[in-house]
């Protein structure tokens, strides 16, 4: 047997199914990451995130926002902001970004904006 791209796709699906049940036992969301392969071997990265009390996976950007929003003079995580006629909710903070460090979300799609944009928008 040789390892091909199709084999890796099938392997990823089966591993994600198996990791889901194992992760539930430990309170961790496990996921297959990158895979590299040759004809005879495959390297697979598996990552895990701790599940919070509400059942959602720990989100580093959301945690960083909780830690920094008071320092930046910004509203609480999850606050709704009205920008350009649309409603966005604040979902995270990128600590290494210089300008566009705030992550907002609208309809499942994420965008990055500056703290000044959030301060100028109507937030509640």
pLDDT at 106: 93
pLDDT at 93: 94
Q: Where are the domains of the chain?
A: 5-50, 60-123
pLDDT tens column, 10-37: 999 999 999 999 998 999 999 999 999 9
Please give the helix or strand (H or E) that residue 87 lies within, else none: strand 86-93
Calculate mean pLDDT across residues 102-119. 92
pLDDT at 83: 87
pLDDT at 123: 74
Calculate mean pLDDT across residues 42-65. 86
Question: Which residues are CB-neighbours of 4 under 8 A, at least 6 positions away?
Answer: 37
Q: What are phi and psi of 89, to 5 degrees?
A: -115, 145
| Neighbour order of strands in the sheet with 122-123 | 109-113, 102-106, 86-93, 80-83, 122-123
Nearest CA among 84, 85, 75, 86 for reference residue 123: 75
Report the predicted TM-score, pTM, of the whole model to 2 decimal places.
0.64
pLDDT at 56: 74
């Amino acid at each position: 047997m040789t390892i091909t791209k199709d084999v890796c796709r099938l392997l990823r699906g089966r591993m994600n199914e198996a990791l889901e049940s194992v992760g539930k036992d430990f309170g961790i969301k496990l996921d297959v990451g990158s895979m590299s392969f040759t004809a005879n071997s495959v390297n697979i990265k598996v990552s895990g995130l701790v599940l919070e009390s509400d059942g959602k996976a720990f989100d580093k950007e959301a945690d960083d926002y909780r830690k920094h929003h008071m320092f930046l003079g910004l509203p609480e995580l999850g606050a709704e902001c009205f920008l350009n006629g649309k409603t966005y909710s604040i979902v995270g903070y990128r600590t290494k970004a210089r300008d566009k460090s705030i992550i907002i979300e609208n309809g499942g799609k994420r965008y990055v904006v500056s703290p000044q944009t959030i301060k100028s928008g109507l937030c509640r």
